[in-house]
Structure formats: structure tokens, C-alpha cells
Amino acid sequence: MVDEVRALGATHVELVVQWVQADVRATEIAPDRLETLPDGRLVEVIRHARAVGLQVVLLPIVHLLRRKEGEWRGTLAPADPAAWWASYHRFTLHYADLAAREGVAVLSVGSELVSTEADRERWAGLIGDVRAVYPGKLFYSANWDHYAEVTFWDLVDYAGITGYNVLATRADADLAELVAAWTRIRSDLRNFHARVARPILFTEIGYPSQDGAAMHPWDYTTGRDIDLEEQRLCYEAVRIVWQGEPILAGLYWWNWFGYGGPRSAYYTPKGKPAEAVIRAWYDPGGRAAARR
């Protein structure tokens, strides 16, 4: 898959690794036999990506083993906050050390931890510890509807945001509607960029190839029919609005995983019409095709 990403024309690949905690009240974050990629395998993938010409971005995330309705990593409420933060330090510094050793270009210090984002003092301590061991660029990945409330944008290099914004209120919205929605979002993000003085980085942006994907891009569990064209239109709207935008440092499509193809209802654009949009983004005018 790394080779396929490079063949698309990408310059960077984002690798997601996760440790787990039992539930939102837990205080211990640890590797998991099923959910955590072993360090040795992660290092192999990082080295291979760099060997084929890709810069590597590392995104460690916290995964909950048990969730009640409405719970996710954005609603963490540990029984002992100090113990949770100590565990989160160990988790983050583990990957900061690995990233430093392996020449990772960009590292995330957190993803969608909404309930912690007001605690600037603890985040400042963590980020300072990370910078002491890791020399590369840092970002935090905020949820698409909660980026303005983050209190520590000045302490990281990029303002990371997940791009799962609602683009439509009905299935089968046309391209003009999707472009108009993204244009409004871009206006808000330009104002945000002017306030925080940090380049914007879409840390995740993608659409399942399902009917209604533009209404709830974060949800691939709806069971709706496969709709390759709606996925393509969503990708095309992103390209039209964001390609060449000066406030945007980059974006990471979610995701290039699985077999793909026209019978896949999930996020990957692999083997689907949306793949052509990605290629057009990386190679406007089809120069690579012309060279072949």
C-alpha cells in the first residue's frame, strides 16, 4: 500500500498507530495485542516509505475498547486525571522517541481529545517534553467542529483539523452544493488561520463510497447503498476549493486501506472514481500520464 500511495504522486504518508484504554473513565493507556502495530513492524514501514521517497507523518491515537452510546475519545473523563496524563505522556513520548530515531518528518501530539483541550498547562508540559526528544514538526489534530476551542495552537507547528464537515442535508447533493459548502468552511478557516497564525493541516479527510456520505462523512456504518459517484463528487469538491489554497499546509486522505474497488462501501478511493481525483490533485494536467 505504501508503494501505491507513492505511485499516486503523494509526497507524504500518514501512519496511524493506536494504544488502548478500557473506557472513558480509565486511567491507563497501553499497547494492545490486536490493536497496536508492533514497533518493529512500524519501523519497517517507516523505512520503506522513506526509501521510496515519501516523508512520514506519525499519528498516534487513543482507542477505547468499550464505549457506551455517545462515548468516544473526545469525551474522556478519567477517574484520576493526573494518572491518565502520566500514562498519556508515556504513550506520546514512546512514539516521539521512535519518530526521532527514524527520521519521521511530522508527529501528532494528540487527536480529537476534546475534553482535554482546555487544559493548556498540561498540554504545554507534554509538548515541551516531546520537543526535548523529537526535532521535527508537531501538530495536534482537532475535531472538525471543535478546533476553535483548542487552547494551545501557539505551541505546535500546524493547526491540524479533521475534515469531516457536513456538506449536505440530503443524499445525492450535486457538485455545486458541495463546493458551496466547502467555500463557506474555507472562509471560516481563513479567519481562524488569521487568529492563530498557524498553517492548516487536514489530518484526516475522506468519504465512504455510500449514498449520503456528504451528510455524515465520519460515519461508514449507515448501511446505505454503495455510491461511487457521491464519493467522487465529495473528493472533487475538496480539490476545487482547496487546491492551491495558501493557508493549507497539506491534507491526508482517509484512507488508503483494504482492497477497494467498485464493491467497497468504505473510505478507500482505491480502484474507484475518486482515485482519479487524487491523481489530478497531485498531477494537474496529467503531466505524468503524458510522460508515460
Read off the amino acid at residue 19: W
The residue ranges of DSSP E strands in 75-162, in sequence order, are 106-111, 137-142, 158-162
107 with 168, same domain: the answer is no
Inter-residue contact 249 to 158 (CB < 8 Å): yes
289: confidence class by pLDDT, cuts 50, 70, 90:
very low
Residue 192 clears pLDDT 70, i.e. is over it: yes
**In-domain check, residue 290:** no
For residue range 258-268, list pLDDT tens digits in order. 899 999 999 99
Residue 283 clears pLDDT 70, i.e. is over it: yes
284: confidence class by pLDDT, cuts 50, 70, 90:
low
153 with 35, same domain: the answer is yes
Domain range holding 175?
Answer: 163-283
pLDDT attached to residue 129: 98
158 with 171, same domain: the answer is no
Pairing of strands 158-162, 12-21: unpaired
207 with 155, same domain: the answer is no
**In-domain check, residue 113:** yes
Domain of 26, CATH number, reads: 3.20.20.80
Inter-residue contact 114 to 74 (CB < 8 Å): yes
155 with 172, same domain: the answer is no
At 71, list the grid cell: 462515548
pLDDT attached to residue 287: 44
Q: How many domains does the chain have?
A: 2
Helix axes 273-282, 228-242, angle to 10 degrees: 20
132 with 255, same domain: the answer is no
111 with 220, same domain: the answer is no
Q: Report the pLDDT averaged over residues 280-285.
A: 80
pTM: 0.93
In the block, cell 493557508 appears at 247
**In-domain check, residue 288:** no
Q: Report the pLDDT averaged over residues 125-130.
A: 98
**In-domain check, residue 7:** yes
**In-domain check, residue 100:** yes
**In-domain check, residue 262:** yes
Q: By three-state DSSP, how is residue 183 classified?
A: helix
Under 8 Å CB-to-CB from 253, ≥6 apart: which residues? 205, 206, 269, 278
**In-domain check, residue 278:** yes
220 with 233, same domain: the answer is yes
pLDDT attached to residue 288: 39
For residue range 3-54, list pLDDT tens digits in order. 999 999 999 999 999 999 999 999 999 999 999 999 999 999 999 999 999 9
pLDDT attached to residue 172: 85
182: confidence class by pLDDT, cuts 50, 70, 90:
very high
Domain end residue (candidates: 117, 147, 162): 162
pLDDT attached to residue 290: 31
Domain end residue (candidates: 137, 162, 187): 162
**In-domain check, residue 234:** yes
Q: Positive or negative CA dihedral for 111, 192, 207, 249?
A: negative
291: confidence class by pLDDT, cuts 50, 70, 90:
very low
66 with 199, same domain: the answer is no
Residue 292 clears pLDDT 60, i.e. is over it: no
For residue range 70-115, list pLDDT tens digits in order. 999 999 999 999 999 999 999 999 999 999 999 999 999 999 999 9
At 58, list the grid cell: 506519525
For residue range 198-249, list pLDDT tens digits in order. 999 999 999 999 999 999 999 988 889 999 999 999 999 999 999 999 999 9
Inter-residue contact 23 to 71 (CB < 8 Å): yes
200 with 260, same domain: the answer is yes
Domain end residue (candidates: 133, 162, 191): 162
119 with 75, same domain: the answer is yes
285: confidence class by pLDDT, cuts 50, 70, 90:
low
37 with 138, same domain: the answer is yes
